[in-house]
Chains A and B, each alone.
Chain A
Amino acid sequence: MDTVNTLIVGFISIVLINNLVFTKFLGICPYLGVSGRIDMAFGMGMAVTFVVTLSGTLTWLIDNLILMPLNLEVTRYVCFILVIAGAVQLVEMYVRKFFPSLYESFGIFLPLITTNCAILGLCLFINLWGIDSLLEAVVLSFGAGIGFTMAICIMAGIRENLNLADVPECLKGAPITLITAGLLALAFMGFAGMIR
């Protein structure tokens, strides 16, 4: 029962309270780049969720089963980035084969998931928070992906409406998106008191 409790609390906290985009500033590049249309934003979110779950789990396993027993922590970053690059390659091949139209619309952003800070960031945070059970690592990685999807979809919804708004000329594009993100971050701070 205790484990289930920890898992649920961990999941909620990474989706809402420690949301990677709004509190840790991770994954801002695709967040600004792909959040123009809601269907693309959702596709991107799903791709990131898949990669982050896969690589969060794999890096936890590698870290705890190979690097730590052998005292090879120095090579941690290199190993992490290789795992992530491999996972992204896998997703890219899969999407190209089965969803060619989605693949076309992603363009450069799909390979760029490799350099999405949200993924490496999460792997590092799992390590930093000293998560010691595999199940918790899996749940946290999945939650991080869901949190990212939620953030990018909310943003895409707002930006679709922003197109109709009268934004000052010099604030069009990235600046207004950042300011909107700031207001969203403010709203998300309201969740901070929910747990602990």
Chain B
Amino acid sequence: MTNNSKAEAGIYKETLIRGLWRENPVFRLLLGMCPTLAVTIAVKPALTMGLSVVFVLVCSNIVVSLIRNLLKPHLRILMFTVTIATFVTIADLFLKAFVPEMSARLGPYVPLIIVNCIIICRAETCASKNSLGISIIDALGMGAGFTVTLCVLASIREILSTGAIFEIPILNLQSQGGWFVPWAAMSMPVGAFITLGLMLGLVNAVTKKQAKG
């Protein structure tokens, strides 16, 4: 019995950590690229986006896991999408009511969580095959991996484009007598594509090194 629960705890831990690095949704699986590129102008919207995705991911994984035995194969994608759309509507209304500013800033990218491949991918590969506990842990791990990645990317872009992180100034701007000239390109689509490309390259290089050593 103790052995059993120990093994179970091991599986939970493994599932949780998997989403953070080994199967990181953005770097490894290349899922959910659109929000990754679109909302990472600054850390605040990135964090809001990440948390909304965690919420939707956990809720939809719970529902899908509970109804997994009733699913018909040819209708399952449709069921997933409708479930996800429902929770996204909830998240969207919540953001509109409590943080209207942020909601306006994120614009259509909140409803676009519906078509975020991460959520469908987890529903399909994990929640529709596993028990409730594992599904929730998996959702938390994947969501955390996504949020952390977004925040890292957003910090790089925010500090290079405005010299601040979380809207707190860090670098001395030239316009205020300092030395740092903001990179305008970083706040534009170009910056998003190139930063993400270079980060993917970095992750690949690190992985190769790990595999060798």
Stretch at the interface among B8-16, B84-92, B136-144, B164-172: B84-92
Cα A81 to Cα B113 in complex, Å, equals 12
Q: Which residues of B contact A26 (CB under 8 A)?
A: 34, 112
Stretch at the interface among B42-50, B60-68, B127-135, B185-193: B185-193
Q: Mark A129-154, 1 if CB is under 8 A from B, else 0.
A: 00000000000000000000000000
Pair B200/A174 contact, Cβ less than 8 Å: yes
Q: Which residues of A contact B205 (CB under 8 A)?
A: 170
Q: Which residues of A contact B85 (CB under 8 A)?
A: 77-78, 81
Pair A114/B81 contact, Cβ less than 8 Å: yes
Q: Which listed residue, B31, B86, B189, B200, touches A29 by the CB 8 Å rule?
A: B31
Of the four ranges (under 10, 10 to 19, 20 to 34, 35 or more), the interface on chain A belongs to: 35 or more
Q: Taking the complex as formed, is B37 at the interface, i.e. its CB lies under 8 A from any CB of chain A?
A: yes
Pair B194/A117 contact, Cβ less than 8 Å: no
B interface SS class: helix
Q: Taking the complex as formed, is B196 at the interface, i.e. its CB lies under 8 A from any CB of chain A?
A: yes
A interface SS class: helix
Q: Which listed residue, A28, A119, A175, touches B37 by the CB 8 Å rule?
A: A28
Q: Taking the complex as formed, is B181 at the interface, i.e. its CB lies under 8 A from any CB of chain A?
A: no
Pair B190/A120 contact, Cβ less than 8 Å: no
Q: Mark B82-110, 1 if CB is under 8 A from A, else 0.
A: 10011011001100000000000001100
Q: Taking the complex as formed, is A102 at the interface, i.e. its CB lies under 8 A from any CB of chain B?
A: no
Cα A26 to Cα B116 in complex, Å, equals 11
Q: Mark A86-122, 1 if CB is under 8 A from B, else 0.
A: 0000000000000000000000000110111101110
Q: Which residue of A lies closest to B81 (CB)?
A: A81
Q: Taking the complex as formed, is A66 at the interface, i.e. its CB lies under 8 A from any CB of chain B?
A: no
Of the four ranges (under 10, 10 to 19, 20 to 34, 35 or more), the interface on chain B belongs to: 35 or more
Cα A24 to Cα B120 in complex, Å, equals 22
Q: Which residues of B contact A121 (CB under 8 A)?
A: 34, 108, 112, 115
Cα A75 to Cα B107 in complex, Å, equals 17
Pair A23/B89 contact, Cβ less than 8 Å: no
Cα A192 to Cα B73 in complex, Å, equals 46
Pair A115/B117 contact, Cβ less than 8 Å: yes
Cα A116 to Cα B201 in complex, Å, equals 25
Q: Which listed residue, A28, A172, A179, A189, touches B34 by the CB 8 Å rule?
A: A28
Q: Taking the complex as formed, is B72 at the interface, i.e. its CB lies under 8 A from any CB of chain A?
A: no
Pair B93/A170 contact, Cβ less than 8 Å: no
Q: Which residues of B contact A183 (CB under 8 A)?
A: 190, 194
CB distance from A1 to the nearest CB of B (A): 32
Task: Pick the most buried of A28, A82, A119, A172: most chain B CB atoms within 10 A of its CB.
Answer: A28
Pair A77/B88 contact, Cβ less than 8 Å: yes
Cα A12 to Cα B192 in complex, Å, equals 24
Q: Taking the complex as formed, is A194 at the interface, i.e. its CB lies under 8 A from any CB of chain B?
A: no
Pair A114/B77 contact, Cβ less than 8 Å: yes
CB distance from B161 to the nearest CB of A (A): 14
Q: Which residues of A contact B31 (CB under 8 A)?
A: 29
Q: Which residue of A lies closest to B206 (CB)?
A: A170
Q: Which residues of B contact A2 (CB under 8 A)?
A: none
Task: Pick the most buried of B35, B77, B189, B202: most chain A CB atoms within 10 A of its CB.
Answer: B189
Q: Which residues of B contact A178 (CB under 8 A)?
A: 193-194, 196-197, 200
Pair A81/B82 contact, Cβ less than 8 Å: yes
With A78-B82, A124-B112, A183-B190 as given contacts, are A25 and B33 in contact (CB-CB < 8 Å)? yes
In the A-B complex, the 3 residue pairs with the closest CB atoms = A182-B193, A178-B197, A179-B197
Interface residues of A (CB under 8 A from B): 22-29, 32, 74-78, 81-82, 85, 111-112, 114-117, 119-121, 124-125, 128, 168-172, 174-179, 181-183, 185-186, 189
Q: Can you list 10 contacts pairing A with B, beta carbon distance less than 8 Å? A: A23-B189, A74-B89, A75-B89, A85-B77, A85-B81, A175-B197, A178-B194, A185-B188, A186-B185, A189-B189
